[in-house]
Amino acid sequence: MPKPFALSLVLAWFAGLLVCPSLFRVAQPFLAAPALAAPDLASVGARVGLIAAKKKAPPSDRVKGLLEKAERGDPEAQYALGYLHSRGEEVDFDQKEAAAWYLKAAEQNHELSQYLLGEMYYKGVGVARDRAQAAQWYQKAAEKGQRQAQFMLGVIYAYGHGLPEDQSQAAEWFLRAAEKGHVEAQYGVGVRYATGHGLSRDPQKATQWFEKAAEQGHPLSQYNVGVAHLEGQGVPKDYGKAAAWYEKAAEQGVDSAQYSLGQLYEKGLGLEPDQTRAAKWYERAAERGNVEAQHDLALMYDEGRGVARDPAKAALWQTRAADQGHAQAQYLLAKRYDLGHGVEPSIAQAQAYLTQSAEQGHPEAQRLLEIGGFSDYRRGH
């Protein structure tokens, strides 16, 4: 069973700092801005070619009105023009022009413009990348309660991007965003309470925050709530609830949840034992590269549990696990090549996998190597 909260999936993502940059998202606006939403700075570049190919059209009456207001210092109009330029809607696609209008609005304390300007500096969109400037603009918006800016300020402190690394400050800003319902921040706070990184370790609080994010559909939080119920971390042990949360995460593609759900089906914990469903979930996790699932699926194909017996498929999945460094899979694959079970016999391959397994401390592999390998073992018996 998985160790409580200590799975490689979560901690590799956490990486001692908390945030995976690929999860950064531009929030929808939290200020009233009729018919306008915060632009997705990560995707607008894909439209440059299409927009550039369009002939420049005269400004619409709406744009003329916005320009008049913006030039008189109206921050909402300045924000709106920045947004339109960032999207190439009704005006030329021009990120530099977008940044210029956002700056005018931001200097007048327009909250969403401050956040978006921080995003532009953080990512180097329309302006030279400058994490220190990003931090300043995130701070201004965060202090006004803009939750995405609060989350990103936590990222800044967590990574030391533009400000000195400060895990306590990172935790404080993540907490502020989490309390406003920011799902990634809720997950991050859960990880910090689970690991004691930036916050005092508290499994009960960790589970509470994971639950908040899980209820919003966050897949890793759903997985961690499953782990909490399985291990009794901050909540009573409940295999049925563990299975339910694992299934939610598994359906969203979390391979560790898929593997764990397979285990529950195989062992009949919280669910009726079902070898076929166990094999199905192992296979889904194995296809996503989960090494334990690859190993266990190989065993099921070898034994014909939940699937038709197929030594060749067993060898395939065992090889994938072995090539990821799974010591037991390496040892079993060495035996498979020695016996020619589902593969062509090969003493060289058997010896290679046996050596790999032994180098990882597998006791039986080490013992066989000491006496010369499989061939010498058989001669001695």
78-133 confidence digits (pLDDT tens): 999 999 999 999 999 999 999 999 999 999 999 999 999 999 999 999 999 999 99
- CB distance 46 to 68 below 8 Å: no
**Contact criterion met (CB below 8 Å) for 180 and 145:** yes
Asked whether residue 97 is assigned to any structural domain, the reply reads: no
Backbone angles phi, psi at 373, to 5 degrees: 105, -170
- Let me know if residue 67 belongs to a domain: no
Alpha-carbon gap, residue 257 to 220, rounded angstroms: 9
Tens digits of residue pLDDT in 314-324:
999 999 999 99
Residue with tokens 């042990």: 237
The count of residues in the chain is: 381
pLDDT of residue 40: 55
Q: Is the pLDDT of residue 177 over 70?
A: yes
Are both 349 and 361 inside the same structural domain? yes
Classify residue 106: in a domain, yes or no: no
pLDDT at 58: 77
Q: How far apart are CA 280 and CA 294, in angstroms?
A: 12
Three-state DSSP class for residue 114: helix
Burial class (CB in 10 A: 0-12, 13-18, 19+), 236: exposed
- What's 281's domain CATH number? 1.25.40.10
What single DSSP character describes residue 181? T
First to last CA, the chain: 37
Domain end marker among 324, 347, 366: 324
How many distinct structural domains can be found in the chain?
2
For residue 102, the tally of other CB atoms under 10 A from its CB is 30
Res 343 pLDDT > 70: yes
Q: Is residue 235 part of a domain?
A: no
Is 358 within a domain? yes
Domain boundary pick from 324, 342, 371: 324
Out of 324, 340, 365, a domain closes at 324
Looking at the structure, tell me whether residues 313 and 345 fall in a common domain. Answer: no
Joined tokens for residue 184: 């990634």
Range of the domain at 290: 254-324
Closest CA to 112 of 26, 177, 184: 26
- Cα–Cα distance measured from residue 14 to residue 221, given in angstroms and rounded to the nearest whole number: 13
Q: Does 310 share its domain with 343?
A: no
Structural contact between residues 226 and 246, judged by C-beta atoms closer than 8 angstroms: yes
